[in-house]
Amino acid sequence: MTGRGQASAGDLLELVRTGRATTRGALQQVTGLSRATVGQRLERLFRAGWLREGAGGPVGSPLGGRPSITLEFDDAHAVVLAADLDTRHARACVLTLTGEILAEHGGTLVIEDGPDVVLGELGRWFAELLEKAGHRPSEVCGIGLAVPGPVDSETGRVVQPPIMPGWDGYDIRGRLARAFTEHTGAPRVPVLVDNDANLMAYGEQRTGHPDCSAFVLVKVSTGIGAGVVVGGSIFRGIDGGAGDIGHIRVPEGAGAQCRCGSYGCLAAVASGGAVARRLAEAGVRAASGSDVRDLLASGHPEAMALAREAGRSVGDVLATVVTLLNPGVLMIAGDLAGTPFLTGVRELLYQRALPRSTAHLEVVTSALGERAGLVGAGALVVEHLYAPERVEERLLALGM
């Protein structure tokens, strides 16, 4: 906020959306604006359809009187589209502005087919999902996309992704915006792209652990990556490389070659793909992390033993992560996120990390499951489009 007496319409919307001030009187008190100025700025938000009046709140005076009318963010004025790409599978959905999934689809989408094909197909999925959800393409305010690689958040382009051949530096935002228009006939909308582990962490932290100021999610599927949320915001590092723990060298991986080309990476010995490879070498039918997930669900003893061993390798690395970041929640997600893997993580984590670092640490598994990336991608779009400075730009563009 720009300061008392200078709060914009965007600042007022932010206060209402976050629940920090939900009546006209509370907005005056927090911002220092006059009643007339608050009224003028709220009027712009009402005209845009972004605010609505709710029920009367409690009477503020012991002498009684009329209850204050509450203000609410109107999440019915637009919808968000989101998609989450894995190496051979994808999920897409339509969400409300408050994160409720209205329609969802999952299916085979092979990332090695390249960005033009994959993003074009997502455009078709989005058109079908909007029809299923009963919403017009013109109601879409933005699209969020989670990808399994490091992303430069300024450009939305992936940077040297080990498991996304043909995607390095590609204009994902532009192609997905075009695909949406091609399949729906609607004007282009903003597209935001981020790493899948980042968006999973964002979705899980916002919905299940909003008061946790340092949150870490580790996704163990085809590869291994971590998402970090600090102070309610995704921590990305300088150029989107934060959290790439799958490429930390570990002693037990000395002879194992990673898909990045190096030897000894954690992902080469403890990812879903690595466990699948070891199972295949033992004569068990497994070609991917999703195959390992199915074997674990059926209680396959060899899969369970290897998952626990992989968990120990990851737990050893996470001891350093936990010591460095001192998070309140460490969440394990992805194909291997189950009891055997979590047991292995706990064994090494609590053995290697300082007791001070783990005294108040919760080690848990994903609550949102396969929807975490979708929820996080939707939230990313909403936080971007309804940030105070962007609200002002959008209101001016609407002539308000």
Q: What is the mean pLDDT of the chain?
A: 93
| pLDDT single digits (tens) 34-63 | 999 999 999 999 999 999 998 765 544 444
pLDDT higher than threshold 80 for residue 341: yes
pLDDT higher than threshold 70 for residue 17: yes
Helix (H, G, I), strand (E, B) or coil at 85: strand
| pLDDT single digits (tens) 102-118 | 999 999 999 999 999 99
Ramachandran area for residue 322 (φ above 0: left; ψ -120 to 50: alpha; else beta): alpha
| pLDDT single digits (tens) 164-188 | 999 999 999 999 999 999 999 999 9
> In which band, very low, low, confident or very high, does the pLDDT at 67 lie, cut at 50, 70 and 90?
low
> In which band, very low, low, confident or very high, does the pLDDT at 87 lie, cut at 50, 70 and 90?
confident
Q: What is the residue whose two structure tokens read 């007339």?
A: 36
Q: What percent of the chain has pLDDT over 90?
A: 84
| pLDDT single digits (tens) 222-278 | 889 999 999 999 999 988 889 999 999 998 877 888 888 889 999 999 999 999 999
pLDDT at 59: 46
CA distance 61 to 30: 18
Q: What percent of the chain has pLDDT over 70?
A: 96
CA distance 341 to 330: 14
* Nearest partner of 201 among 162, 243, 240, 149, judged by Cα: 243
